[in-house]
Amino acid sequence: MKTKTLNFMELLEAFFTEYMPFAAGLSNNTIRSYKYAFRLLIKYLFSEMNVHANEISFVRLDFDTINGFLLWLENERKCSASTRNMRLAALSSFAAYAQNRNIDAATVFMNAVKKIPSKPCAAKPRTMFSLEEVSVLLKLPDKNTVIGFRDSMLLNLMYASGARAQEICDLTVRSIQFQGDVTKLTVTGKGDKTRRINIAVPCGALLRQYLSRRGIQNEYDRHVFSSQTREHMTVSCVEEIFKKYLKLAKEQNPFLFREPRYSPHSMRHSTASHMLEAGVPLMAIKNFLGHASVMTTERYAELSQSTVNRHIREWNERWFPVEDCGVTAYESSNALPAFLN
Answer yes or no: is 204 within a domain. yes
Same domain, 12 and 58: yes
Mean pLDDT calculated for residue range 105-110 = 87
Distances (CA, A) of 17 to 10, 53, 125: 11, 18, 37
**Judgement on whether residues 158 and 100 belong to the same structural domain of the protein:** no
pLDDT of residue 90: 93
Q: What is the domain extent for residue 310?
A: 131-319
Determine what percent of the chain is predicted with pLDDT higher than 90: 47
Rounded Cα distance between 266 and 155, Å, is 12
Q: For residue 250, which amino acid is it?
A: K
Provide the mean pLDDT of the chain: 83
Q: Which CA distances in Å does 137 have to 128, 142, 241?
A: 12, 12, 12
Instruction: Decide if pLDDT at 173 tops 90.
Output: yes
**CA distances (Å), origin 341, targets 234, 271, 323:** 24, 13, 11
The angle at the Cα of 139, spanning 148 to 291, to the nearest 5 degrees, equals 90
Average pLDDT over residues 253-282: 86
Among the three residues 115, 144, 178, which one is the final residue of a domain in this structure? Answer: 115
Specify if 123 maps to a domain.
no
Q: Which residue has the higher pLDDT, 216 or 336?
A: 216
- Phi–psi pair at 186, nearest 5 degrees: -100, 110
pLDDT recorded at residue 215:
93
Residues 46 and 82 in one domain: yes
pLDDT above 70 as % of the chain: 85
Of the residues 55, 86, 115, the one at which a domain ends? 115
CATH number of the domain to which 160 belongs? 1.10.443.10
Residue 337 resides in a domain: no
Contact 267, 161 (CB under 8 A): no
- Rg from Cα positions in the chain: 23
Residues 165 and 241 in one domain: yes
Q: What is the pLDDT at residue 308?
A: 41
Average of pLDDT values for 214-224?
93
pLDDT in tens, 180-191: 888 999 988 877
How many domains does the chain fold into? 2
The reported pLDDT for the residue numbered 92 is 94
Q: Is the pLDDT of residue 12 over 70?
A: yes
Q: Residue 214's pLDDT is what? A: 94
Residue 317 binned pLDDT confidence (cut-offs 50, 70, 90): low
The answer to whether the predicted template modeling score (pTM) of the entire model surpasses 0.85 is no
Task: Answer with the residue of higher pLDDT: 2 or 236.
Answer: 236
Beta-strand ranges (E) seen in 97-206 are 176-179, 182-188, 194-199
